[in-house]
Amino acid sequence: MDGERLSVSGGMFDDLRSAVAPLAAPMHAEGHRLFLVGGVVRDRLLGDDQTPDYDLTTDAMPDRIRALVAGVADAMWLQGERFGTIGLRIGNVTMEVTTHRSEAYVDESRKPVVKFSSDLIEDLARRDFTVNAIAVDVADGMLHDPFDGQTDLINRALRTPLDPAESFSDDPLRMLRAARFLSRYGLTAVDGLVEAALLLADRIGIVSRERIRDELFRLLEVRDPTSGFALLDDMNLLTLVLPEVAALQASAGRALKRQVTDAPPDPVLRLAVLAYGAGGDDTLRHWQSTLRLSGRDVGRIATLLDGTGLLAGMTAEAGVDVIAPSFDEGLRRTAVRSGEYFDEVLAFAKVVGVDPDGRGVGSAVSRLRAIGEFDDLGPALDGATVMRLLDLNAGPVVGEVMNWLGELRLREGNLDNDEVQRRLLDRWGSGDR
């Protein structure tokens, strides 16, 4: 182990070590070791200044971690204790500390078997990639890199610490994570990695749908996930995770992935782009089950698909005549159907090519917004006014009139009050109800 310890010049990790020092003190006092590990080390080596996720590993068992941090933590989370992880907050620093461990999926189990260890090298060996298998001793700042992750960072190589077949078999989700790391850090898969994944692709079926969804969302958060999707295709994983996307013709698939990259790095929005280009509502219904999408996410995606479908139909029918009253009516109806997502529907329509330059739908919306057409799309009169003008009592007829007024607003726009009242009396004031 000593041969793997290298000095880090310039105090590269000193601020990170200081941030976790209140946690380290009671652990060191009891003879335990504590290491910064994984992304927080990787990103610092890359010069990434984003707010760090303080992940730490230790030789202390979970019950000892809990007991030792109880006196210094301002808050503690124990949901992950059975997997060896204690979450805690000290001041404004949130961190997770985990007992050295390995995880492996056994046979067809959907839950990994966790084995605790007192050996840092064993812990690092069971991590997903060498660029994440680097640790820094909080006590002295020494860096432990037994699998030469620093060299792989320099060479932008994606490699597993152990044989890739062993690593992917232990945790098949690592095959999906490979796509994210490839895209996020501009890495290249080393020889043998794709071949191992091809042999083990079907093993992704033992991973829970929730974990697959979460990893897919992380890929969709990468600025340009194109190379990650290409890797999933090469590994034969795209057809298992997003079969409707994998089934597209090559040119359509490339165009769709360009649209995803052009969209903001919001995973739900980008998943909507994929759904729109790969089957629409039918695809969404399938993914709702296979990816265990939340009701909120499904509702948002469904609204984007629905609103954009309405706009696509309107533009196809109107051609270049987007100043027609029927087009304005369609926009008002789309705004009502889309509700809080109307602006997002408009942006989404541009991304998927329904209104690519904004000169059609976008200009019409701007024109209508300038005259307050979207300020209030409900009936121009309230129920009390309707009852007074028509001498009605509360009842079903009032509801019918309110529906008629709502339709009038959508059909003809923001008429002034006198005109609305005149039409109301013309239509409903004769007593023929």
The Cα–Cα gap between 54 and 7 comes to: 21
Q: Is the pLDDT of residue 8 over 60?
A: no
CA-CA-CA-CA dihedral for 379, 384, 386, 387, to nearest 10: 150
Query: Which helix (H) or strand (E) element contains residue 10?
Result: none
Q: Compute the average pLDDT of residues 358-378.
A: 84
Residue 107: what are its φ and ψ, rounded to 5°?
Answer: 50, -125
Q: Compute the average pLDDT of residues 211-238.
A: 96
Judge whether 275 and 301 are in contact, CB under 8 Å. Answer: yes
What's this model's pTM, rounded to 2 decimal places? 0.85
Going by C-alpha positions, the residue among 32, 157, 164, 44 that lies closest to residue 98 is 32
The Cα–Cα gap between 270 and 220 comes to: 7
pLDDT of res. 324: 67
Of all residues in the chain, the percent with pLDDT exceeding 70 is 92
Single-letter amino acid code for the residue at 80? G
Of how many residues is the chain composed? 433
pLDDT band at residue 6 using 50, 70 and 90 as cut-offs: very low
Q: Is the pLDDT of residue 160 over 70?
A: yes
Residue 271: what are its φ and ψ, rounded to 5°?
Answer: -65, -35
Of all residues in the chain, the percent with pLDDT exceeding 90 is 62
| Burial (CB count within 10 angstroms: exposed 0-12, middle 13-18, buried 19+), residue 249 | exposed
Question: What's the gap between Cα 286 and its chain centre?
Answer: 18
Tokens at 164, concatenated: 């890739």
Bridge partners of residue 88, in order along the sequence: 76, 95
Domains of the chain: 1-155 (3.30.460.10), 161-288 (1.10.3090.10), 295-370 (no CATH), 383-428 (no CATH)
Q: What is the pLDDT of residues 302-345, one digit of tens each?
A: 999 999 999 988 877 655 455 567 788 889 889 989 999 999 99
pLDDT of res. 227: 95
Which residue blocks in 263-341 are alpha helix, DSSP H?
267-277, 281-290, 295-318, 325-338
The SS3 assignment for 358 reads coil
pLDDT band at residue 55 using 50, 70 and 90 as cut-offs: very high
Q: Compute the average pLDDT of residues 270-280.
A: 95
pLDDT of res. 112: 64
Tokens at 326, concatenated: 């029927």
Judge whether 153 and 44 are in contact, CB under 8 Å. Answer: no
Judge whether 176 and 208 are in contact, CB under 8 Å. Answer: no
Can you list the pairs that 281-287 forms with residues at least 24 positions away whose Cβ atoms lie under 8 Å? 281/305, 283/244, 286/244, 287/242
Q: Is the pLDDT of residue 105 over 70?
A: no
* Distance from the first to the final alpha carbon of the chain: 90
Q: In the 8-state DSSP scheme, what is residue 340? A: G
pLDDT of res. 109: 61
Single-letter amino acid code for the residue at 422? R
Going by C-alpha positions, the residue among 151, 162, 157 that lies closest to residue 121 is 162
Vertex 252, ends 187 and 342: CA angle to 5°?
A: 95
Q: Is the pLDDT of residue 266 over 80?
A: yes
pLDDT of res. 317: 65
Single-letter amino acid code for the residue at 79? Q
Which residue blocks in 34-172 are alpha helix, DSSP H?
39-45, 62-69, 120-125, 149-155, 164-170
The Cα–Cα gap between 362 and 343 comes to: 10
400: left (phi over 0), alpha (psi -120 to 50) or beta: alpha
| Burial (CB count within 10 angstroms: exposed 0-12, middle 13-18, buried 19+), residue 121 | middle
Residue 60: what are its φ and ψ, rounded to 5°?
Answer: -75, 140
pLDDT band at residue 161 using 50, 70 and 90 as cut-offs: very high
Computed over every residue of the chain, the mean pLDDT equals 88
Of 39 and 51, which is predicted with more confidence? 39
Bridge partners of residue 103, in order along the sequence: 114
The Cα–Cα gap between 100 and 59 comes to: 6
Q: Is the pLDDT of residue 2 over 50?
A: no
pLDDT of res. 59: 93
